Amino acid sequence: MSGPVVVALDVGGTGMKCALVRPDGTVLHEERHPTLAARGPEAVTENILEIAAGLAARAENPIAVGIAVPGVIDEENGVAVWSSNVGFRDVPLRKLLTDRLGLPAALGHDVRVGGLAEARLGAGRGQRYVLFVAIGTGIAAALVVDGKTYGGAHGAAGELGHIVVRPGGTPCPCGARGCLEAVTSARSIGRRYAEISGNPEATAFDVVGRLDQDPAARQVWQEAVDALADGLLTAQALYDVDVLVLGGGLAEAGEALLEPLRGELEKRLTFHRMPRIVKAELGDTAGCKGAALLALDHLEKA
């Protein structure tokens, strides 16, 4: 593996995707490891450092490390401020990685780096204003302008899932009611279908699979698409983007999601311009590619 490579890690609540990525985004090597969050934040951190060091050792010319983590991230200082599903509280990951590997490091928010990768290498390439929306267990978004992400004053920008679209509606884990995430996340869709169909095992996947034969599935899907269109209407009013890139598990529904969503958003827009709505292209390597891009950006700045 000659030529410079970046060590990239995308840490999730259950698993970590790890890769060696070339500056042009080519993935040279991939590994997956369990996060083992139940063992506590110190053990998770040690595990991350160990895996990153192992990856760096495989590469002939590692030039930087990029890591993506969920939760609230202070990208400027390289600190994982708060991450409920990994258990991090104020973990100075960037410094720990630099100390262990002797390489410059960058820490980013998982959805923001995913958005960065989609905007620069994936479905948003060539566009200046891109909003990446990840819809899975939860919903979050990342605004990318001219290839740079926008993290907000407290590292918490892009919480599209907690826009209230149904005031007084279903309780959301955040404490509010009627958040977009409480209607349109994969988990919420599955739960709603379970309620209506009487099958407690029902999932969002079942809803998509039964759109042709089950009116209840169609109803749940329509509710989810309507709420998403309401949330995206707000997003478009705020950001006026060229393209909305939909990623995460729910986007795998493809045109079954995109087509009705385009229609519903178009109906709601008054003077705002309709963005293109497309499916993400990079799949689950977006996090690693984005973490690598972030690390390279930091190198350039340094």
Among 79, 111, 179, 261, binds Zn ion (CB under 5 A): 179
Residue 174 in the binding site for Zn ion (CB under 5 A): yes
Residue 160 in the binding site for Zn ion (CB under 5 A): no
Residue 57 in the binding site for Zn ion (CB under 5 A): no
Strand order in the sheet with 4-11: 27-34, 15-21, 4-11, 61-69, 105-109
Reduced to 3 states (helix: H, G, I; strand: E, B; else coil), residue 73 is strand
| Closest CB 248 distance from Zn ion, rounded Å | 16
139-145 and 148-149 beta bridge pairing: antiparallel
Residue 162 in the binding site for Zn ion (CB under 5 A): yes
User: Considering only 49-57, 143-151, 155-163, 284-292, which stretch makes contact with Zn ion by CB under 5 A?
Assistant: 155-163
* Between 162 and 298, CB nearer to Zn ion: 162
Contact between 292 and 21 under an 8 Å Cβ cutoff? The reply is yes
| Closest CB 72 distance from Zn ion, rounded Å | 15
Q: Could you tell me how far CA 256 lies from the centroid of its own chain?
A: 21
Burial class (CB in 10 A: 0-12, 13-18, 19+), 176: middle
User: Considering only 9-17, 54-62, 173-181, 207-215, which stretch makes contact with Zn ion by CB under 5 A?
Assistant: 173-181
Q: How far apart are CA 88 and CA 221, in angstroms?
A: 35
Residue 6 DSSP code: E
* Between 157 and 176, CB nearer to Zn ion: 176
* Between 140 and 291, CB nearer to Zn ion: 140
Residue 113 in the binding site for Zn ion (CB under 5 A): no
User: Considering only 25-33, 37-45, 165-173, 250-258, which stretch makes contact with Zn ion by CB under 5 A?
Assistant: 165-173
* Between 162 and 210, CB nearer to Zn ion: 162
Contact between 207 and 186 under an 8 Å Cβ cutoff? The reply is no
Residue 1 in the binding site for Zn ion (CB under 5 A): no
Residue 172 in the binding site for Zn ion (CB under 5 A): yes
| Closest CB 176 distance from Zn ion, rounded Å | 5
Reduced to 3 states (helix: H, G, I; strand: E, B; else coil), residue 101 is helix
Among 63, 81, 156, 176, binds Zn ion (CB under 5 A): 176
Sequence-distant (6+) residues with CB within 8 A of 265 are: 229, 232, 233, 236, 274, 277
User: Considering only 41-49, 50-58, 175-183, 280-288, which stretch makes contact with Zn ion by CB under 5 A?
Assistant: 175-183
* Between 58 and 177, CB nearer to Zn ion: 177
Question: What is the total residue count of the chain?
Answer: 302
| Closest CB 186 distance from Zn ion, rounded Å | 15
Tally of CA atoms within 13 A in the half-sphere of 271 that contains its CB: 1
Q: How far apart are CA 77 and CA 24, in angstroms?
A: 26
* Between 54 and 173, CB nearer to Zn ion: 173
CA-to-CA separations, 111 to 100, 108, 165, in angstroms, rounded: 26, 9, 21
Under the rule (CB under 5 A), what is the footprint of Zn ion? 162, 172, 174, 176, 179
